[in-house]
Amino acid sequence: INTNCNSKGAESVQKLVDKARARRVLFVLSTDFVTGDEYSSKANTGHATVQEGISKGWHGLDIGP
């Protein structure tokens, strides 16, 4: 998976997930993504799913098309 998430960010997410789980909160997460070959308004864009994964050299820019 191509990500810009660092370990501190991942720890924060895990704490939130644990807290929500303890309160029986249901998370609904997107299973598809808008992708791009760069972080720019001029990027070539595409689409990927969790099953396919994001292609090497591309980035997840947003959830859902």
pLDDT tens by residue, 8-50: 877 888 899 899 999 999 888 889 999 999 999 999 999 999 9
**In angstroms, rounded to a whole number, what is the distance separating the alpha carbons of residues 51 and 6?**
23
C-alpha angle 53-33-12 in degrees, rounded to nearest 5: 85
Whether residue 17 contacts residue 25, with contact meaning beta carbons closer than 8 Å, is answered with no
pTM over 0.95: no
Is the pLDDT at 2 greater than 60, yes or no? no
Rounded (10°) CA dihedral 24, 64, 14, 12: -120
**Helix (H/G/I), strand (E/B), else coil: 21:** helix
